[in-house]
Chains A and B, each alone.
Chain A
Amino acid sequence: MESETVAILGFVALFVLLFIRMPVGLTMMLIGTVGIYLIRPVAAVPTLAGEIFAEAANFPLIIIPLFVLMGNLAGVSGMSRDLYRAANAWLGHMKGGLASATVVGCAGFSALSGSSLAAALTMGRVSLPEMQRYNYDDGLATGAIAAGGTLGILIPPSAGFVIYAILTEESIGRLFLAGVFPGLMLTVLFVIAIWIVVKRDPSRAPMAAEAVPIGDRMRALAGAGWIIGIVGLTIGGIYTGVFSAIEAAGIGAALAFLVTVIRKALTWPNMQDVFKSTLRASGTLFMILFGAFVFKTFVGFTGITFALSTWVGEQGFTGMQIVIAFLVMFIVLGTFLEGFAILVLTVPLIQPIIEPLGVNMIWFGVMMVIALEMGLISPPVGVNVFVVKGIADGVPLNTIFRGIWPFWFAMLAGVVILVLFPQIALILPNTMFG
């Protein structure tokens, strides 16, 4: 059988197996192994063993458990609550201010946690009762939490960037820094989206919290000092070249642990919760990576990427045209595929096509992560929406999905802005030290 035919059959089989609910990592592992067997039979089993070990012992992946641990410790130590309180003190009195505070709180928490789910869950538990108390529309309240949570994979540390960096062999530190300004931009776009929604229909946020005196606002901000300090130290350390991204993860986790001890939150149930959550989240990512690298090797063996890049070259497409086509594809895929699945399935195919066209892989990575964020809240498999549903008992799923749309369009606007002004993403990595 021609290797290109094997590749096409492999992709068809992959989608069939994903459709019947086979775990993403195992699906890629199975298709990759069978595919390699069909092309080079003797290589199949050793490749399977070799790729699993190579990813399990891949030094940069130390970042994943440590940043997940840091985020979980931030949750149990009450740092996330402090952050919401500070955001609330400054924004809560404005129209739609509690929803805006939720988004800002999520952005802050995202700087401690690489997980969108953790951000949505942690901030949602704190902010949803508050928004419900002020009679916020359920769609707006839950939409703000689900969308705000997606900032977790854009604002560093980001599990999405780590996986993208491993797949493309780009620098994790540079990708982290590239996510800072787009993350802040997206936060502002979300706040603008909330403002527009409430301006058009004031009944969706009928009451505002009382304005807080400036002294209390400053005290609330000081209360969030720990989280701001840890974020400043880790991101600042990477930017100035004092720490590598891996060292920043270790130091950030240790500081979060210290804060947990100081605040007497280091209880046995909390520790069980923290370590179990860390294991579950890391296990998810490692399994996907095991499968992704077996699959990537299979894709390499088929030579299909060479055939595709040759075809693209013959058509005379520009890099920008291809990038836009892929972004549209990610957005469509995001409506039915899970974000990390899209990342690991498409990057091995896409990189050999766009890199020769001169596309900056750091910039592309940022836009890809935003497109994945859109997938996290797109029906029918928006994972963040299901997480929010878990904490918003009486709110129907349809209401949450309806509340998502303003934020989805804000993300789309973010992608367009980044296409027009790539420097927003590239300025920090291009000026970093070390």
Chain B
Amino acid sequence: MSSQNQKVLDWADEQLGRVAGLFAILGAVGVCLLMVNILVAVFWRYALNDPIFGIDDVSVMVLAVFAGCAVAYGARNNSHVSVDIITNFFGRSATRYTDAVMRILALGITGLAAFALWTKACGFEEACITENLSIEHTWFYYFLGVALCFYALHLLVMLLVGFANWHGEDPNEAAD
């Protein structure tokens, strides 16, 4: 592989790392908000005997953002569980092919999922809003689409890195 291509891949990887950092910050804020929301809801209900109308709607929408961040950040950190039996039977001579197939398929489904979330938001829902506060769901579909698109881009970089190191050890393995 030319050094120019390697530089492009390194640059792409670095940018994905930066975006993952943003997902991490947003996710951390999200989980703190979830905690505070529940504390406030419990305090108002028990101490002030005055349940807050619609606070669960806020929690649910924060959860959607958190879930997107967690999936994207998890992708970047190889947290998504896979079953590694194949390396007990075959070496790199076989896994260079199976990994390429696996990454192409994974890229395909994450890309399709991102596309589905952007184009079919609220497709089957009768009312695309939360129950009490009528918060519109559409934007949260879009955000999840962004998270899955990030996952797809990460897989694309992994695929290209795998191709770039076809005849040697795959640097993605070290990350796994």
A17-57 with Cβ < 8 A to chain B: 17-26, 29-30, 33, 45-50, 52-53, 55-57
Q: Are B81 and A46 in contact (CB under 8 A)?
A: no
* Candidates A56, A341, A380; contact of B64 at CB < 8 Å: A56
Residue interface bits A269-299, CB-to-B below 8 A is 1, else 0:
0000001101111111011101000000000
Q: Are B70 and A286 in contact (CB under 8 A)?
A: yes
Q: Are A65 and B66 in contact (CB under 8 A)?
A: yes
Residue of B nearest to A29 (CB): B109
Q: Are A381 and B120 in contact (CB under 8 A)?
A: no
* Candidates B73, B110, B148; contact of A280 at CB < 8 Å: B73
A253 to B36, CA, bound (A): 10
* Candidates B68, B88, B121; contact of A56 at CB < 8 Å: B68
Contact residues in A for B31 (Cβ distance below 8 Å): 65-66, 69, 275, 278-279, 282
Q: Are B116 and A46 in contact (CB under 8 A)?
A: yes
Q: Are B124 and A52 in contact (CB under 8 A)?
A: no
Q: Are B106 and A251 in contact (CB under 8 A)?
A: no
Interface residues on A, range: 35 or more
Interface centre among A19, A22, A276, A290 (most CB of B within 10 A): A22
Q: Does A61 contact B (CB under 8 A)?
A: yes
Q: Are B73 and A381 in contact (CB under 8 A)?
A: no
Q: Are A49 and B141 in contact (CB under 8 A)?
A: yes
Q: Chain B's nearest CB lies how many Å from the CB of A155?
A: 22
A251 to B102, CA, bound (A): 42
Q: Which of A162-170, A172-180, A332-340 contacts B (4 or more CB under 8 A)?
A: A332-340
Q: Are A52 and B113 in contact (CB under 8 A)?
A: yes
Q: Does B98 contact A (CB under 8 A)?
A: yes
Report if A24-B81 is in contact (Cβ < 8 Å); known contacts: A53-B64, A59-B56, A59-B59: yes
Report if A253-B83 is in contact (Cβ < 8 Å); known contacts: A49-B141, A62-B59: no
Q: Are A336 and B83 in contact (CB under 8 A)?
A: yes
Report if A251-B81 is in contact (Cβ < 8 Å); known contacts: A49-B123, A69-B31, A279-B69: no
A336 to B67, CA, bound (A): 28
Q: Does A243 contact B (CB under 8 A)?
A: yes
Contact residues in A for B30 (Cβ distance below 8 Å): 65
Q: Are B35 and A66 in contact (CB under 8 A)?
A: yes
Residue interface bits A253-280, CB-to-B below 8 A is 1, else 0:
1100100000000000000000110111
A302 to B94, CA, bound (A): 34
For the complex of A and B, 10 pairs with smallest distance between CB atoms: A283-B74, A250-B38, A46-B123, A283-B70, A56-B67, A275-B28, A49-B116, A23-B80, A20-B98, A30-B109
A selection of 25 A-B contacts at a CB cut-off of 8 Å is: A22-B102, A24-B81, A30-B109, A33-B109, A33-B112, A45-B112, A46-B116, A48-B112, A49-B121, A50-B123, A53-B64, A62-B59, A66-B38, A251-B39, A253-B35, A254-B35, A275-B24, A279-B69, A279-B70, A279-B74, A280-B73, A283-B69, A284-B80, A286-B74, A380-B85
Name B residues whose Cβ lies closer than 8 Å to a Cβ of A: 23-24, 27-28, 30-31, 34-35, 37-39, 41-42, 56, 59-61, 63-64, 66-75, 77, 79-86, 88, 95, 98-99, 101-102, 105-106, 108-110, 112-113, 115-117, 119-121, 123-125, 137, 140-141, 144, 148
Given contacts A25-B81, A57-B137, A275-B27, 4 further A-B contacts (CB under 8 A): A30-B108, A49-B120, A53-B144, A251-B39
